[in-house]
Amino acid sequence: MDYTTQMDAARKGIITDEIKTVAEKENMDVNELMKLIAEGKVVVPANKNHKNLSAEGVGKRLKTKINVNLGISKDCCNIDLELDKVKKAIDMKAEAIMDLSCFGKTKEFRTRLIGMSPAMIGTVPMYDAVGFYDKELKDISAEELLGVIETHAKDGVDFMTIHAGINRETAEVFNRNPRLMNFVSRGGSLLYAWMKLNNKENPFYEYFDKVLDICEKYDVTISLGDACRPGCLNDSTDASQIKELMTLGELAKRAWKRNVQVMIEGPGHMALNEIEANMMMEKKLCHDAPFYVLGPIVTDIAPGYDHITSAIGGAIAATYGADFLCYVTPAEHLRLPDLDDMKEGIIATKIAAHAADIAKGVNGARDIDNSMAKARRELDWNKMFEFAIDPDKARMYRESSRPEDEKTCTMCGKMCAVRNMNKVMEGKNINILRDDN
C-alpha cells in the first residue's frame, strides 16, 4: 500500500521503517505510536531524501528531544568549523541539528550536513532567501520564497521552520500593542519587513496550500515558527504571541488534512511563573501538536550563562508539555557559539530534557539514575563515569584532586557518608583516623 507521509502511513495502518525505529527507541507499542502520529500528537520528521536518517519521534509520551543550532554567517563563514560542530553534536547524540546558515550559497554546507547526519535536520528557508537569490529582501518575490522551501525539501531537510503565523492580522495586533523588544525572531522580522516593504500578505500564509504541496511531496515536517516569540520577560504572554498561536493552531489543522506533520514553536523569554500556563495554552490552542521551545530563558540579565537560564526554563516547560528543546549556549545574545559553547549548551539542555522526562514519568527515564545511585553506593567510580551525562568532565574533576582513600573523594575523605555507612552496615569499624586493617 502506498503512502505520502509518515502521518498518512500511520492513518493507513502501515508500519514504516521509521515508525518501527521510533517504537523500538521509545520502548513503545507500535500501534499506540501510530495512533499518536495519526492524530498529530507525535511527529516523525523523515524526509524521503534523507537516506541515512535514524528516525526520532517528537511528541506526547515520548522522551524529550533536543536540537542543536549551527550554520555559517557572513561574519563567521567557516564551513569546516561548522562541520566539526556537526560531528560533535552527533557524537553527543543530539536528536536534531538545525542549519541556520544565512550567508552566501548555503547548499554545499546543507548537502554535506544531510549526507553525514543520522540526526534529523531542520532549516529556516527564510534565512537562506537573500543569499540564495542574491537579492535584497524587498525584491524577492513570493514565488521565489516558496522556491527556497522546495530546494531545501529536495535536498533532504526533515523539518523546516515556516513563519506562516505572522500574517496581516497578527501584524496589526502587534502594531496596536507595542513591545519593549519588538520582534526578536530573525525569520519573523524578515517577513514582517517584507510585508511592510511590499504592502502584501505573508506569502507563507497566503500560499500555505503550496507550502503543503511541497511538504507532502517530500514528507517534510512543518515547524510552525513563532515570529512573535517574546525576546524579553516584559513581552511574554502578550497579545501578539497569543494571536499568532491561535493562527498556528488553525494552520496545523489545515496541514493535518493533507497528512503533513506539524510541530509548533514557542517562547522565548518568559518568567518562571508563566511557563506552565503557556504550555497548557499551546496544547489547547494547537490541538495537542508537539511543542518545540527555545528555553524559555527565565531572566534577561545572564549573558554568558544563558545555557543555564534556558535549562531552568526548559526543564519546567518540558515537565508541563513541551516535547522538543532547542539548545541555548553560553554565547547566546553575544556571538556565534564555538565548539566549547556548543558542548556546554548540549549538556545543559540534555539535563533539562532528562529531568523533565523523570517528572513526566516517561517509560524508563529513571533507570539510569537508579544505576548511578547503585554505583555511588558501591563507590564504583568507573561505573559512575559510565552513567554520567558528561563522563569526560566527571573524570577530569576526579583526576584533578586525588584523595588519601581511593574509595572517597577530597571533599569528605574518610568522613564520606557512603563509605562509612557501607562499613557499618557490614559490621566493620570505620577507622577515620587510622588505616584500615
Q: Would you list which residues are annotated within the binding site for [4Fe-4S] cluster?
A: 409, 412, 416
Residue set of the binding site for substrate: 69, 98, 127, 163, 185-187, 226-229, 265, 292
Decide if 125 contacts 164 (C-beta within 8 A): no
Where helices occur in 60-200 by DSSP H, the ranges are: 79-91, 107-116, 125-133, 142-155, 168-176, 186-198
Closest CA to 168 of 243, 264, 268, 252: 243
Rounded distance between C-alpha atoms, residue 188 and residue 228, angstroms: 7
Rounded distance between C-alpha atoms, residue 54 and residue 280, angstroms: 30
DSSP code at position 263: E
Q: How many CB atoms lie within 10 A of CB 280?
A: 12
Rounded distance between C-alpha atoms, residue 69 and residue 64, angstroms: 17
Residue set of the binding site: 69, 98, 127, 163, 185-187, 226-229, 265, 269, 292, 333, 409, 412, 416
Q: Measuring CA to CA, how many Å separate 127 from each of 64, 186, 199?
A: 27, 8, 21
Rounded distance between C-alpha atoms, residue 2 and residue 15, angstroms: 12
Residue set of the binding site for Zn(2+): 269, 333
Reduce the DSSP state of residue 269 to 3 states and report it.
strand
